Chain A
Amino acid sequence: MNKKRLTHLIFALGILFVLFTAPFAYAISEAYKENIYRVGTLKPVDSVLKVKVGDKAPDFTLPVISGEKFSLSQYRGKKNVVISFVPAAWTPVCSDQWPGYNIIKDVFDQNDATLLGITVDNIPTLFAWTNQMGKLWFPVLSDFWPHGAVAKKYGVLRSDGVSERALFVIDKKGIIRYIDVHDINKRPPLEDLVGALEKLKK
């Protein structure tokens, strides 16, 4: 083996070492006490998108915790919409995602946008879980039955029945302007979403 190859091999091994030994990271809030189920590290993405930027966003109607139903189309012509799919209630990263959006209503307002949180959990589970987050200003929709139908429509339903950690930004005309199907093990950085919202104005 020549020297150059050996160098490359060591380099590759170093990278693999980092990838496999870096523990998955999340900071769980004390708000959830010992109630967060540790899922371990999962396959980053486990579905194939069925929509793309520029497409008309598929409409849907889902129930929310308060008992009402919300449709995407009700915002047409009125507000930009951010859809935040998170995989499941009571799991590490998801539990510390929406509480962050909860303190930046002003950023959504400035960009004439609203937020819809969606998981495939049923309403009682979502009720108990989101109660730990304090009062949320945005509706939380249950895509429980038919199971994960909306997630499936967008192509973010994973093979084990939970959804991806995915963000969609839909403008007032109902057109998808931004998609981030994020590594399920990580929280999407806030600056990326805010950047996408600010781009809507241009």
Chain B
Amino acid sequence: MKKAVISLAMLIVLCLAFGFHTLAADKPPEKGGVLPVINLPIPKEPAEKAYLGLSGDGTFKIPQIKTNVVIIEIFSMYCPYCQKDAPGVNELYHRIEKDSDLKNRVKIIGIGAGNSPFEVGTYKKTYTVPFPLFSDKDFAIHKAYGEVRTPYFVVVKINDDGTHKIVHSQLGGYPGAEPFLQLVLESSGLK
């Protein structure tokens, strides 16, 4: 029994050690590339689950979201520009949800770099963020995304065969809901 515990502990330590190496990226995701492989927890909230077209428990990968385009915002509750842009990103969500044509074709998620679930919850509550936010407490995702500064936006096109491609990425400089939506539609070919 003791042996089994030690072996398990060793396995965990080794997984962690190699995890850091395989996940760490030198540069941010770029246009034309693919996303780093990241497992996110399937939201418990039924509305969020439905929004992403997911079911059950456990984890999912971003290209499994049932949609054509995903906008990923890497943010932090501690980041002044993320705070300033938050209402504008919410507006983008509402603009898409009101458009029956776009509603099921474009989805938004946020990943809180270095933010605990409590901190992500604080950000969500403060700005009434309507789309799903995920905690990246130990910066694992942030590292996989090349330690970008925040806010960082990545737009991904998901193909019918399950493959995907990054069609746009940008650091800061959020131009407002409508110009950003146009940029998303053009870069992804939805328009």
A interface residue numbers (CB < 8 A to B): 7-8, 10-11, 14-15, 17-18, 21-23, 25-31, 96-97, 99-100, 102-104, 132-134, 187, 189-191, 194
A96 touching B20 in the complex, CB below 8 Å, given contacts A14-B14, A29-B149, A191-B118: no
- A97 CB contacts on chain B under 8 angstroms: 78
Secondary structure at the B interface, as helix, strand, loop or mixed, is helix
Q: How large is the interface on B (under 10, 10 to 19, 20 to 34, 35 or more residues)?
A: 35 or more
Asked whether A21 lies within 8 Å of B142 as measured between CB atoms, the reply is no
B6 proximity list for chain A (CB < 8 A): 7-8, 11
How far is it, in angstroms, between the C-alpha of A55 and the C-alpha of B41 when the chains are bound?
Answer: 44
Check B151 for interface membership: any CB of A closer than 8 A. yes
Q: Find out whether the CB atom of B143 lies under 8 angstroms from the CB atom of A25.
A: yes
Chain A residue nearest in CB terms to B123: A103
Within the complex, which residue of B80, B113, B150 is in contact with A132, where a contact is CB–CB below 8 Å? B80
B119 at the A/B interface (Cβ < 8 Å)? Answer: yes
Partner of A30, one of B114, B139, B151: B151
Q: How far is the CA of A28 from the CA of B20 in the complex (A)?
A: 20
Determine the chain A residues whose CB is within 8 A of the CB of B3 once the complex forms.
7
Is A29 touching B21 in the complex (CB atoms < 8 A)?
no
Q: Given the complex of chains A and B, what is the CA–CA distance between A157 and B120 in angstroms?
A: 31
Within 8 A of A (CB), among B42-85: 74, 76-84
- B10 engages A14 (CB within 8 Å): yes
Q: A7 CA to B152 CA in the complex, in Å?
A: 43
Q: Is the CB of B83 within 8 A of A134?
A: yes
With a cutoff of 8 Å between Cβ atoms, the chain A residues found around residue B116 in the complex are 189-191
Closest CB-CB distance, B13 to chain A, in whole Å?
A: 4
Contacts of A21 in B (CB 8 A): 17, 20-21
B152 nearest CB across to chain A (Å): 8
Q: Is the CB of B82 within 8 A of A104?
A: no
Bound: A23/B14 CA distance, A: 16
Interface positions, chain B 145-164, Cβ under 8 Å from A, are: 147-152
Chain A residue at minimal CB-CB distance from B139: A25
The residue from A11, A23, A99, A189 contacting B83, defined by CB atoms under 8 A apart: A99
Q: Give the distance in Å from the alpha carbon of A176 to the alpha carbon of B18 in the complex.
A: 43
Residues of B contacting A27 in the complex (Cβ-Cβ under 8 angstroms)? 74, 76, 78-79, 113-114, 139, 142, 147-150
Q: At the interface, yes or no: B24 with Cβ under 8 Å from chain A?
A: yes
Contact in complex: A23, B143 (CB < 8 Å): yes
| B37 in contact (CB, < 8 A) | no
Rounded to whole angstroms, the CA-CA distance of A74 and B125 in the bound complex is: 32
Shortest Cβ distance from A132 into B: residue:
B80
Contact B149 A30 (CB under 8 A): yes
B9 in the interface, Cβ–Cβ < 8 Å?
Answer: yes
**Within the assembled complex, what's the spacing in Å between the Cα atoms of A99 and B119?**
12
A8 to B3, CA, bound (A): 11
Chain A residue numbers with a CB within 8 Å of B1 are none
- Whether the pair A28, B149 counts as a contact (CB closer than 8 A) is yes
Q: With A190-B116, A190-B118 in contact, do A100 and B78 touch (Cβ < 8 Å)?
A: yes
